[in-house]
């Protein structure tokens, strides 16, 4: 193994990949993001029960995303200096509390508290779990990111199905059963944290040569990180629109039931799960920069077609868009980690956090726009967001592991 200047050891190219550990953090990513996905999937139920306006729906998304976005970089920066694996089960416990509130809260204010608790769990989970994934990668950084992230995307895809076949027929209170999944996640993350503690102790007894970083100036690195953040914002703003309002759009345009609309959301989320799995694996072979080009800009023709498609076409396009747009994220994270070696937690916090929070702000703004102009106008406008993929031309070539 090699070691970074800060943040502890990471698996080097000659080290075996710890697939069991990667499977554990991916499973818990699935659980964490299933809880998050249930929040957006039950929006139609919450709207009917509490007579919510679209701005209140957007505010729920904002409360969750803003909490995660503000705290994730802070958690990542702190744990770069002093990794704290045992934060992982504590974060999942916060998610458990949040889901319990969403299932049983009698007033809208407590729904907001539940959304914040789920966001807090996400803020704690992503930086440390991402560090564990890199440590277990055996040098296959893109593949490890894909395995880790596919759990999250699968969770996002499963949430609408669970809402459609559990919460919709049995009522909002049935969402409380998903706290059992969170309890399983607490146990798995406790085991994963124990592994990481032992792995770090073993590494401390070995020589720790510094890992070479890119020879880019500080300003060039900062500029590249800004471009990557804009690209992640592009992806997350589009997916926030889909996650928050795609169910309402399909109900309004195609006359679907709440259950049918959640299945349409599942198709998009399922496509994202496939895309994120392939993005990192392909990125290890052809370089993350090439994957970023194809993913962000390549989705533009499909996003422009979506507002004009019929029901079947919309179902097919939602899968294609999900696959293409999601494939960029593992490549973006790996590219950023190579730009700033030794700051794995901070980079994970920024790209899972701040840019994610920008998507939350976008959801709140789009909710206001939807109230004023209608959902068809919203989806016609956000279809142009992937054009920002042209900014990829500003990213530097020659970054270690980021050829393309």
The answer, yes or no, to whether residue 402 has pLDDT greater than 90, is no
Mean pLDDT value across the chain: 81
Range of weakest confidence among 82-86, 180-184, 377-381: 82-86
94 falls within a domain: yes
87 falls within a domain: yes
357 confidence band (pLDDT: 50, 70, 90): low
Instruction: Report the pLDDT averaged over residues 121-150.
Output: 83
400 falls within a domain: no
pLDDT the model gives residue 163:
72
User: pLDDT tens, 323-350?
Assistant: 998 888 888 888 887 787 777 777 877 7
Can you tell me whether residue 10 is helix, strand or coil?
Answer: strand
Structural domain range at position 378 = 11-394
253 falls within a domain: yes
User: If you average pLDDT over each of 17-26, 78-87, 307-316, 385-394, which comes out highest?
Assistant: 307-316
User: pLDDT tens, 6-17?
Assistant: 333 444 444 566
Range of weakest confidence among 57-71, 110-124, 187-201, 254-268: 57-71
The answer, yes or no, to whether residue 45 has pLDDT greater than 90, is no
Tokens standing for residue 191: 């085991």
145 confidence band (pLDDT: 50, 70, 90): confident
pLDDT the model gives residue 6:
36
C-alpha distances in angstroms, 316 versus 259, 311, 319, 382?
Answer: 18, 9, 5, 18
Can you tell me whether residue 193 is helix, strand or coil?
Answer: helix
Q: Is the dihedral of CA 176, 76, 147, 231 positive or negative?
A: positive
Instruction: Report the pLDDT averaged over residues 274-301.
Output: 80
215 confidence band (pLDDT: 50, 70, 90): low
Range of weakest confidence among 27-36, 105-114, 212-221, 291-300: 212-221
pLDDT the model gives residue 321:
93
pLDDT the model gives residue 276:
81
pTM: 0.68
Tokens standing for residue 159: 């949430």
Instruction: Report the pLDDT averaged over residues 253-266.
Output: 86
Q: What is the CATH number of the domain that holds 372?
A: 1.20.1250.20
What are the beta bridge partners of residue 10? Answer: 2
234 falls within a domain: yes
All residues at 6 or more sequence positions from 217 whose CB lies less than 8 Å from its CB, including other chains: none
Q: Are 31 and 236 in contact (CB under 8 A)?
A: no
5 falls within a domain: no
How many structural domains is the chain composed of? Answer: 1
pLDDT the model gives residue 231:
87
Q: Are 311 and 262 in contact (CB under 8 A)?
A: no
All residues at 6 or more sequence positions from 222 whose CB lies less than 8 Å from its CB, including other chains: none
| pLDDT: which is higher, 148 or 3 | 148
pLDDT the model gives residue 92:
94
pLDDT the model gives residue 38:
75
For the chain, the first-to-last Cα distance in angstroms comes to 25
Closest CA to 323 of 281, 277, 389, 272: 272
pLDDT the model gives residue 146:
82
User: If you average pLDDT over each of 3-7, 8-12, 52-56, which comes out highest?
Assistant: 52-56
359 falls within a domain: yes
pLDDT the model gives residue 208:
55
Range of weakest confidence among 28-37, 59-68, 239-248, 356-365: 356-365
Q: Backbone phi, then psi, for 136, in 5-degree steps?
A: -95, 5
C-alpha distances in angstroms, 111 versus 19, 104, 362?
Answer: 37, 9, 20
Tokens standing for residue 356: 């994610």
Tokens standing for residue 386: 């992937």
Closest CA to 321 of 304, 338, 336, 343: 304
221 falls within a domain: yes
Burial of 159 (0-12, 13-18, 19+ CB in 10 A): buried
pLDDT the model gives residue 7:
38
Tokens standing for residue 260: 């049918």
DSSP 33-59: HHHHHHHHHTHHHHHHHHT--HHHHHH
DSSP 228-250: HHHHHHHHHHHHHHHHHHHHHHH
Instruction: Report the pLDDT averaged over residues 297-323.
Output: 92
pLDDT the model gives residue 209:
52
pLDDT the model gives residue 192:
92
């Amino acid at each position: 193994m090699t070691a970074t200047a800060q943040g502890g050891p990471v698996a080097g190219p000659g080290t075996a990949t710890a697939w069991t550990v990667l499977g554990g953090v991916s499973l818990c990513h699935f659980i964490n993001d299933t809880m998050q996905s249930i929040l957006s999937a039950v929006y139609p139920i919450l709207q009917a029960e509490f007579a919510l306006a679209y701005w209140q729906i957007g505010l729920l998304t904002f409360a969750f995303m803003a909490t995660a976005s503000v705290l994730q970089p802070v958690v990542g920066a702190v744990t770069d200096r002093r990794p704290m694996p045992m934060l992982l089960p504590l974060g999942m416990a916060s998610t458990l509390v949040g889901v319990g509130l969403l299932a049983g809260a009698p007033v809208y204010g407590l729904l907001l508290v539940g959304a914040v608790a789920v966001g807090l769990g996400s803020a704690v989970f992503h930086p440390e779990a991402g560090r564990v994934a890199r440590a277990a990668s055996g040098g296959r950084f893109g593949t490890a990111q894909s395995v880790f992230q596919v759990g999250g995307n699968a969770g996002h895809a499963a949430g609408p199905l669970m809402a459609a076949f559990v919460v919709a027929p049995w009522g909002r209170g049935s969402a409380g059963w998903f706290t059992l999944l969170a309890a399983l996640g607490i146990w798995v993350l406790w085991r994963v944290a124990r592994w990481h503690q032992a792995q770090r102790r073993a590494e401390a007894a070995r020589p720790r040569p510094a890992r070479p970083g890119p020879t880019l100036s500080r300003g060039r690195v900062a500029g590249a990180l800004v471009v990557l953040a804009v690209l992640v914002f592009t992806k997350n703003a589009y997916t926030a629109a889909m996650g928050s309002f795609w169910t309402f759009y399909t109900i309004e345009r195609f006359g679907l039931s709440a259950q049918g609309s959640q299945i349409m959301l599942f198709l998009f989320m399922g496509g994202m799960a496939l895309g994120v799995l392939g993005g990192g694996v392909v990125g290890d072979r052809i370089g993350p920069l090439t994957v970023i080009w194809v993913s962000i800009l390549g989705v533009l023709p499909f996003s422009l077609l979506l507002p004009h498609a019929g029901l079947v076409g919309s179902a097919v396009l939602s899968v294609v868009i999900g696959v293409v747009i999601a494939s960029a994220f593992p490549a973006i994270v790996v590219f950023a980690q190579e730009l700033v070696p030794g700051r794995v937690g901070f980079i994970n916090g920024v790209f899972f956090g701040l840019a994610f929070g920008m998507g939350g702000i976008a959801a709140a703004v789009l909710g206001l726009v939807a109230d004023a102009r209608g959902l068809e106008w919203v989806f016609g406008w956000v279809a142009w967001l992937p054009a920002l993929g042209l900014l990829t031309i500003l990213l530097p070539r020659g970054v270690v592991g980021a050829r393309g």
